[in-house]
Amino acid sequence: MFAKKHLAALVISSIGLIGLPALADNYTIDTKGAHASINFSIKHLGYSILTGRFDTFSGEFSYDPAKPEASTVNVTIDTNSVNSNHAERDKHLRSPDFLNVEKFPKATFVSKKIVVGSDKNEFDIVGDLTLNGVTKSVTIDVDKIGEGKDPWGGYRAGFEGETEIKLKDFNIKMDLGPASQVVKLQLHVEGIKK
Amino acid sequence: MLKDSTSGYGLVTIVLHWVCAPLIIFLFGLGIYMRGLDYYSPWYHRGPDLHIALGLLIFALMFLRLLWRKSNQNPNAIPTISQSNLWAASIVKVFLYVGVFIICISGYFITTAEGTGASFFGLFSIPASVEFSANNVDRLGAIHKYCAWGLMGIVILHAAAALFHHFVKRDKTLVRMLKPTDKAD
């Protein structure tokens, strides 16, 4: 079994050496070790910022530092896991006034295109966000934080990203007032190379 | 006067009954009203706070009623009422008590599901005991809602039966719950 795997790896890496373009590495987002989080924030009445997060999600991405524009990412969020540290508000957020989690238990993001700037560590991920049954294109502004070997024999790469969505765009019925129409999503992602 | 006797109900039972009855119906209405409120309504927070505080009060009063009922003599049945009607009345009463307790307890669990206590008008607060997952909180919410609707059905049956006995059968069923018995024992 082991020998076979090694042989396969050898064959594949030899093909790489012969001159095919290097393939991007695949990473699993480290939700198991909780080195990733999906946070949101929205203005409360226009006077302060309220934050919360989704506790349960999973995802993976492919990434090649030499060719970040070829990267892909997809994430699935369990909308039931919305957590703003307040039992009754969270119950309300799960209800049809907001996320309608009974009908739409999953939210997903699938990347379509990566636009890399002059700095290869900063790029925009354009992709489809499906939330509350509505799919819309969003652009996530991403900064790479770092990558390298971890102390336990693995290899990790991490990013942070930010985007804004309008509640109305995703058919979220509850009106929280003129100052609270837009939600910021703040994403912190660390992947472990597969 | 205060205690129940074989001939009728005492003042404590009667007062507790007539305090609880409108409170329970009011709380049902408040529950429906507050769920439909706009975020900018002055009652958006006041409604739920009042709902929780009065819910705690109802739980305490109903608990007291149960203790008082168990520690007192039960009035004798009115002889003109048939055995099957008496049975129906007792079953309705059991549903009323059980329904109110299920609604109170599920409400308490919803409010305290993430560890925050249930506040009684800011005077004191009943601490959380069990933390629930999102799914279970939503289940508790459904239980709270459907039991409340069910309870209102039972309340209508209970009230209709009382009025029927008073106006149609012209017996003392309703009067017994309005006028304390003279015999003190």
Q: Considering Cα of B154, then B158, then B160, then B161, what sign does the dihedral take?
A: positive
Q: Which domains are delineated in chain A?
A: 22-193 (2.40.128.110)
**pTM: predicted TM-score of the whole model, two decimal places:** 0.81
> CB pairs below 8 Å between A and B: how many?
37
For tokens 């996530």, the residue is: A140
Cross-chain CB nearest to B138 (options A81, A85, A91): A91
Residue pLDDT, tens place only, B58-87: 999 999 999 999 999 999 999 999 999 999
Task: Find chain B residues with C-beta within 8 A of A90's C-beta.
Answer: 114, 134, 137
A189 phi and psi angles, rounded to 5 deg: -130, 130
Cross-chain CB nearest to A94 (options B39, B116, B138): B138
Q: Which of A91, A95, A101 to mutate to test the interface with B (most CBs of B within 10 A)?
A: A91
CB contact under 8 A, A177 and B40: yes
Long-range contacts of B133-137 (CB under 8 A, 24+ apart): B134/A80, B134/A81, B134/A82, B134/A90, B134/A91, B134/A94, B134/A101, B135/A80, B137/A87, B137/A90, B137/A91, B137/B109, B137/B110, B137/B113
ipTM over 0.85: no
| Strands annotated E in B8-167 | 118-120, 124-126
Residue pLDDT, tens place only, B137-182: 999 999 999 999 999 999 999 999 999 999 999 999 999 999 998 7
Q: Which of B39, B51, B112 to mutate to test the interface with A (most CBs of A within 10 A)?
A: B39
Measure A82 CA to nearest chain B CA, in Å. Answer: 9
The one-letter amino acid at B178? L
Do residues B27 and B55 make contact, with C-beta atoms less than 8 angstroms apart?
yes
Per domain, the residue ranges of chain B are: 11-77+86-176
